[in-house]
Amino acid sequence: MGRLVEMVIESVRVHMLSNRHVVILKDPEGDRYLPIWIGPWEASAIAMRLQGVTAERPLTHDLLAAALEQLDVRVARVVISELSDETYHAQIHLQRDGQDVEVDARPSDALALAVRVEVPILAAEEVLDQAALGMDPDAGDDEDDEEGGEPGRRVPLESVGGETSDPRLDMFRDFVNSLELDPGAGGESGGRRS
C-alpha cells in the first residue's frame, strides 16, 4: 500500500427516494471527497456517534470497542485500503503488547468503530485516485440547487482532475449529487475529525 491520506467524515447522507445511505469522507487538506455506500444500520451507528447520541443498550460497534478495551487492545487507525470491482475494502490496525495486527473489515464497520474510539481515518492514495470526487468550484455554499432545494442540502461533486477515469463513476457522482442529508446525521456541521 502506498501513501495514506488522513480523512474526516464530512457527513452521512441518505437518498430520499431509494433510501440508500452514503458516508462522505473529506480530505481536509484539499477538496477531495470519497463517497462510500453503506448500509442503514451502519449509517445510523456512525451518525449517532457523530451527534453524541448514545444508544440505551450497546450497539455492535460499541460492544467491539468495549471488548477491545477490556482485552487491552488499542485501535491505532482505520484505513480505506482498496477499491476492487466497485467494492471498498478497509483494514483496522490494532496494537497489543507491541504487536501490530491488521484486520480486514467493511469500511462502514471500520468507520463506525473509528468514530467510537476516536482514531485517524486514512485512505490509500490509490483509492482516492480511483474514486475521489472534487467540490465544484462554481457552486457556492449559500446557493440553492437548480431544483429549488434548500441551501446546503446538496454537495455538488465532480471528478478530480477533469474527466472521470471510469464512466461508472459518472453514475455515482450523479447519485451523490441527488442525496439529501440524513435527518439523523446532523448535517455538514455534524461531521468531526475522528
3 state SS for 125-172: HHHHHHHCEEECCCCCCCCCCCCCCCCCCCCCEEECCCCCCCCHHHHH
Give the pLDDT confidence of 41-66 residue by residue, as tens digits: 999 999 999 998 888 888 899 999 99
Which has more pLDDT, 179 or 11? 11
Say which residue, 60 or 147, is predicted with more confidence: 60
Angle formed at CA 84 by CA 83 and CA 89, multiple of 5 degrees:
50
Question: 86-95, 148-157, 168-177, 182-191 — which is least confidently predicted?
Answer: 148-157
User: Which range has the worst mean pLDDT, 120-124, 147-151, 182-186?
Assistant: 147-151
Retrieve residue 20's grid coordinates.
440508500
The answer to whether domain 4-185 has CATH 3.10.690.10 is yes
pLDDT band, residue 134 (cuts 50/70/90): confident
DSSP single-letter state for residue 98: T
Q: What is the pLDDT of residue 70?
A: 95
